[in-house]
Amino acid sequence: MSGSQRSDDTPVLITEAEPSYDDQQAARRKKYALMMSLRIPCLVAAVMVYPIWWLSLIIIAVSIPLPWIAVLVANDRPPRKSEHVNRYHRDSRRRELEDAEHRVIDGE
């Protein structure tokens, strides 16, 4: 960018690389552990409200699909971030070669 100065000082994105596999796997593990840890409090709550049998059944019904949902969430890839990135755009008016004609001297 020798001739023109950019008005935006943010860095130019040179890659669209996703987070590393290890980072993605660590985030999925955390989600899985959180969802699976919710199952125990649900079962405890169902025992606590046992005298209200219909509420106890609702809490147990909610806790039954939690392992299935946890596995689905843990195996899912994270969505791509939609963010504004600063990309380099070549000036279409600027040409790589000069347009001016040059006089050629033939050495014959």
Tell me what pLDDT residue 12 has: 59
Close Cβ partners of 106 (under 8 Å, ≥ 6 residues apart)? none
Instruction: Kindly tell me if the per-residue pLDDT of 55 is higher than 60.
Output: yes
Cα-based distances in Å from 28 to 11, 31, 32, 38, 72: 30, 5, 6, 16, 10
Mean pLDDT of 47-57: 93
pTM: 0.52
* Per-residue pLDDT band at 2 (split at 50, 70, 90): very low
The beta-carbon contacts of 29-35 under 8 Å, at least 24 apart in sequence, are 29/74, 31/70, 31/73, 31/74, 32/70, 32/71, 32/73, 32/74, 35/66, 35/69, 35/70, 35/73
Residue pair 98/26 in contact (Cβ under 8 Å)? The answer is no
- pLDDT tens for residues 61-108? 999 999 999 999 888 876 666 666 666 666 666 555 555 666 777 776
User: pLDDT tens, 11-46?
Assistant: 655 666 677 788 888 988 999 999 999 989 999 999
User: By C-alpha distance, which of 24, 7, 14, 18 is closest to 85?
Assistant: 14
